């Protein structure tokens, strides 16, 4: 592909894209009309709610020493415990990442959240990714608050033990806010999990994988172009269409991350907190990964995978046994090569490298280094069974013979769900489900004939709010099987999920039981640039 050819193509595409941009602006003004003056408490505490745990949480500007030299300006969640133990909130030292909040199933939690972001235009709201909550506790963009406003969350944790997380969810601005540093883990434990002999405390290690591009002054460069054609800001436009891919990997907010371990077992809780990058996790030793948990908590029993796919929003828990290593040994956790996540025949692969400056999807990367530094006796052995896991039976679904279709497509460079873009409160009859019912949904990643930019589409991590689901089937178009074959052994479909990777040409069938909370909930692509551009819809749980 010649430079001239691609430049002409993207100019035309850019103009088309500008035309659609107007809709997003209109959606933004809805919010300004509704959220009231600065300084107000948009949702006040409920006097009848008695919390077991109470936190204060704030989103504000800060600086972080990430690279040598200039500190990086970041936006960060900071928190403190108002009621509870100090151990319910754990800060990650030296990181822009928010604190780890810890709760037990059944606890009632109050979080007083204040938006202290430094730009007037940065309304925000906190979404508790993976938790099943009432609609006004879920962080829907229609509840976004402006700077200096406060929103009080009050909810009971009903999810099982697992690695959940929180991040901003204002419409059109999530990508930038997450990129600037707003994200944190919400770890739930329960009695069943506590009764298991799993690694605890220092041996229970959160690993948040993100990618960033730094400019010459060590600042985050987001949607700023930065490639060969940055003068025309094509880079920003392409990043928005394909998703931002950073030049370097950060773990827990730090570059060149090294995990010092003893010769024993660790529980690694891995979150892909990246905007758009999909990782194919693999050990440098070639050993399989032992998976004990997914998005919605522990599996029934451990499973071995040659590698594990982890798309934005997904979590995986690993049993990492270093007892067979000598002190002094080193290994790495890598992202291995894969293909097919973006159209290899289209222009995108080549453009991506030039545009965002980050390596294209599927490029091998070193994520972190493990150094075995001390000998320790290993007291634990891998449990044969981990947790009770209810298996949903798709044959019992109210729509068993007619799965609800969720079609992913691209039209004029805009990603759509069932042909539509996000509307703040818009929801169709086809997007309405009944509380307390079991349904099957089928996500179909369609081809896009006629789309010059990406006729085969790209991989999308699809996330549902308000429910945890199980993957009950996958198939792929024969024409796109070659790429799929480089990732499919890394799907962990054995447990509860809230986010699922759907490759080009793939159909994924999900089973889910909606709970009692009624109202509007989101389903969307967790590629944050896709989400911000409107690859998101409401669904209604009707009572
Ligand atoms: Cu993690 Cu709707 O998001
Ligand atoms: Cu979510
Ligand atoms: Cu997407």
**Digitized pLDDT (tens) for each residue of the chain, 543 residues in all:** 232 333 333 333 433 433 333 333 333 333 443 456 667 999 999 999 999 999 999 999 999 999 999 999 999 999 999 999 999 999 988 899 999 999 999 999 999 999 999 999 999 999 999 999 999 999 999 999 999 999 999 999 999 999 999 999 999 999 999 999 999 999 999 999 999 999 999 999 999 999 999 999 999 999 865 444 434 445 577 788 889 999 999 999 999 999 999 999 999 999 999 999 999 999 999 999 999 999 999 999 999 999 999 999 999 999 999 999 999 999 999 999 999 998 654 555 455 444 556 899 999 999 999 999 999 998 799 999 999 999 999 999 999 999 999 999 999 889 999 999 999 999 999 999 999 999 999 999 988 887 777 788 899 999 999 999 999 999 999 999 999 999 999 999 999 999 999 999 999 999 999 999 999 999 999 999 999 999 999 999 999
Instruction: Decide: 183 and 139 in contact? Cβ < 8 Å.
Output: no
Q: What are the two backbone dihedrals, phi and then psi, of residue 104, each rounded to the nearest 5 degrees? A: -110, 150
Would you state the pLDDT for residue 58? Answer: 98
Would you state the pLDDT for residue 22? Answer: 33
3-state helix, strand, coil in the chain (%, to 5): 15, 40, 45
Cα of 538 from ligand 2 centre, angstroms: 12
Cα of 526 from ligand 1 centre, angstroms: 6
**Contacts (Cβ under 8 Å, ≥6 apart) of 290:** 302, 303, 304, 318, 319, 320, 321, 382
Would you state the pLDDT for residue 288? Answer: 98
Name the closest ligand to CA 498.
2
- 108: exposed, middle or buried (C-beta count within 10 Å: 0-12, 13-18, 19+)? middle
Cα of 463 from ligand 1 centre, angstroms: 7
Name the closest ligand to CA 131.
2
Q: How far apart are CA 293 and CA 298, in angstroms?
A: 4
Q: How far apart are CA 480 and CA 490, in angstroms?
A: 17
Name the closest ligand to CA 141.
1
| Residue with token string 């992202």 | 335
**Bridge partners, 294 (sequence order):** 297
**Contacts (Cβ under 8 Å, ≥6 apart) of 352:** 238, 242, 245, 342, 358, 360, 361
pTM: 0.92
Considering only CA atoms, which of 165, 184, 163 is closest in space to residue 96?
184
Q: How far apart are CA 465 and CA 135, in angstroms?
A: 9
Instruction: Decide: 267 and 317 in contact? Cβ < 8 Å.
Output: yes
Cα of 267 from ligand 3 centre, angstroms: 30
Would you state the pLDDT for residue 25? Answer: 35
**Bridge partners, 356 (sequence order):** none
Opening angle at CA 82, ends 76 and 84, nearest 5: 110
Would you state the pLDDT for residue 351? Answer: 53
Q: How far apart are CA 471 and CA 492, in angstroms?
A: 9
Taking the alpha carbons at both ends of the chain, their separation in whole angstroms is 54
Opening angle at CA 22, ends 19 and 25, nearest 5: 155
| Residue with token string 């269409």 | 241
Question: Dihedral of the CA atoms 511, 517, 520, 521 (nearest 10)?
Answer: -50
Which residue's alpha carbon is at the smallest distance from atom 1 of ligand 1?
A: 129
Taking the CA of residue 130 as reference, the ligand 1 atom at the shortest distance is: 1
- 326: exposed, middle or buried (C-beta count within 10 Å: 0-12, 13-18, 19+)? exposed
Cβ neighbours around 380 below 10 Å, total: 18
Q: How far apart are CA 425 and CA 15, in angstroms?
A: 28
Domains (ranges, CATH) in the chain? Answer: 31-190 (2.60.40.420), 204-374 (2.60.40.420), 394-542 (2.60.40.420)
Helix/strand/coil for 160? coil
Instruction: Decide: 469 and 266 in contact? Cβ < 8 Å.
Output: no
Q: How far apart are CA 115 and CA 145, in angstroms?
A: 7
Name the closest ligand to CA 417.
3
Would you state the pLDDT for residue 378? Answer: 80
Taking the CA of residue 536 as reference, the ligand 1 atom at the shortest distance is: 2
Cα of 466 from ligand 2 centre, angstroms: 8
Cα of 494 from ligand 1 centre, angstroms: 21
Cα of 526 from ligand 2 centre, angstroms: 9
Question: Which DSSP symbol is given to 497?
Answer: B
Which residue's alpha carbon is at the smallest distance from atom 3 of ligand 1?
A: 129
Instruction: Decide: 319 and 300 in contact? Cβ < 8 Å.
Output: no
Q: How far apart are CA 112 and CA 57, in angstroms?
A: 6
Q: How far apart are CA 483 and CA 349, in angstroms?
A: 14
Neighbours of ion ligand 2 (CB under 5 A): 129, 465
Cα of 304 from ligand 2 centre, angstroms: 27
Taking the CA of residue 524 as reference, the ligand 1 atom at the shortest distance is: 2
Cα of 285 from ligand 2 centre, angstroms: 34
Cα of 129 from ligand 2 centre, angstroms: 4
Taking the CA of residue 165 as reference, the ligand 1 atom at the shortest distance is: 1
Q: Where are the beta strands (DSSP E) in 425-516?
A: 432-434, 438-445, 460-464, 469-476, 499-502, 506-513
Instruction: Decide: 109 and 45 in contact? Cβ < 8 Å.
Output: no
Taking the CA of residue 167 as reference, the ligand 1 atom at the shortest distance is: 1
Name the closest ligand to CA 467.
2
Taking the CA of residue 522 as reference, the ligand 1 atom at the shortest distance is: 2
Residues having CB within 6 Å of any atom of ligand 1:
127, 129, 167, 169, 313, 463, 465, 522, 524, 526
Taking the CA of residue 531 as reference, the ligand 1 atom at the shortest distance is: 2
Give the chain's radius of gyration (CA, Å). 22
Tokens representing 217 are: 């002054």
**Contacts (Cβ under 8 Å, ≥6 apart) of 301:** 383, 384, 385, 386
Name the closest ligand to CA 414.
3
Taking the CA of residue 139 as reference, the ligand 1 atom at the shortest distance is: 2
Q: How far apart are CA 363 and CA 243, in angstroms?
A: 15
């Amino acid at each position: 592909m010649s430079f001239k050819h691609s430049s002409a193509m993207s100019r035309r595409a850019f103009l088309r894209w500008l035309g659609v941009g107007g809709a997003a602006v209109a959606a933004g003004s809805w919010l300004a009309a509704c959220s009231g003056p600065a300084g107000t408490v948009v949702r006040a505490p409920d006097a009848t709610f008695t919390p077991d745990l109470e936190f204060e949480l704030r989103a504000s500007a800060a600086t972080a020493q990430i690279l040598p030299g200039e500190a990086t300006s970041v936006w960060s969640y900071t928190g403190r415990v108002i009621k509870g133990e100090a151990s319910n909130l754990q800060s990650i030292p030296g990181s822009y990442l928010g604190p780890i909040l810890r709760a037990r199933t059944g606890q009632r939690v109050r979080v007083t959240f204040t938006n202290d972001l430094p730009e007037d235009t940065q309304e925000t709201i906190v979404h508790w990714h993976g938790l099943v909550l009432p609609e006004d506790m879920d962080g829907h963009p229609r509840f976004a608050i402006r700077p200096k406003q406060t929103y009080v969350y009050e909810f009971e944790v009903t999810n099982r033990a697992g690695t959940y997380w929180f991040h901003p969810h204002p419409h059109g601005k999530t990508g930038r806010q997450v990129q600037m540093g707003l994200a944190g883990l919400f770890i739930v434990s329960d009695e069943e999990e506590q009764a298991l002999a799993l690694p605890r405390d220092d041996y229970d290690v959160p690993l948040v994988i993100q990618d960033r591009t730094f400019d010459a002054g060590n600042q985050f460069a987001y949607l700023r172009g930065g490639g060969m054609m940055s003068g025309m800001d094509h880079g920003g436009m392409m990043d928005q269409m394909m998703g931002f891919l950073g030049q370097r990997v950060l773990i827990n907010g730090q570059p060149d991350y090294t995990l010092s371990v003893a010769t024993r077992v660790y529980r690694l809780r891995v979150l892909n907190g990246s905007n758009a990058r999909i990782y194919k996790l693999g050990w440098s030793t070639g050993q399989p990964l032992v998976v004990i948990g997914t998005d919605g908590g522990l599996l029934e029993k451990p499973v071995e995978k040659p590698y594990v796919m982890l798309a934005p929003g997904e979590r995986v828990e690993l049993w990492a046994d270093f007892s067979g290593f000598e002190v002094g040994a080193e290994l790495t956790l890598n992202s291995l090569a894969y293909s097919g996540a973006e159209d290899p025949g289209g222009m995108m692969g080549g453009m991506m490298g030039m545009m965002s400056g980050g390596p294209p999807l599927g490029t091998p990367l070193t994520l972190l280094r493990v150094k075995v530094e001390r000998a320790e006796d290993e007291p634990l052995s891998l449990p044969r069974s981990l947790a009770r896991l209810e298996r949903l039976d798709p044959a019992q679904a109210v729509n068993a013979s007619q799965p609800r279709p969720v079609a992913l497509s691209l039209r004029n460079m805009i990603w759509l769900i069932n042909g539509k873009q996000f509307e703040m409160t818009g929801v169709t009859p086809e997007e309405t489900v009944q509380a307390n019912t079991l349904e099957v949904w089928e996500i179909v990643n369609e081809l896009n004939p006629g789309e010059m930019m990406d006729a085969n589409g790209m991989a999308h991590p699809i996330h549902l709010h308000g429910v945890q689901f199980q993957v009950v089937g996958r198939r792929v178009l024969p024409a796109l099987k070659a790429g799929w074959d480089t990732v499919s052994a890394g799907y962990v479909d054995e447990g509860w999920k809230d986010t699922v990777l759907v490759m080009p040409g793939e159909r994924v069938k999900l089973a889910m039981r909606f709970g009692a909370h009624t109202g509007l909930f989101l389903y969307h692509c967790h590629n944050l640039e896709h989400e911000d551009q409107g690859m998101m819809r409401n669904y209604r749980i009707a009572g």
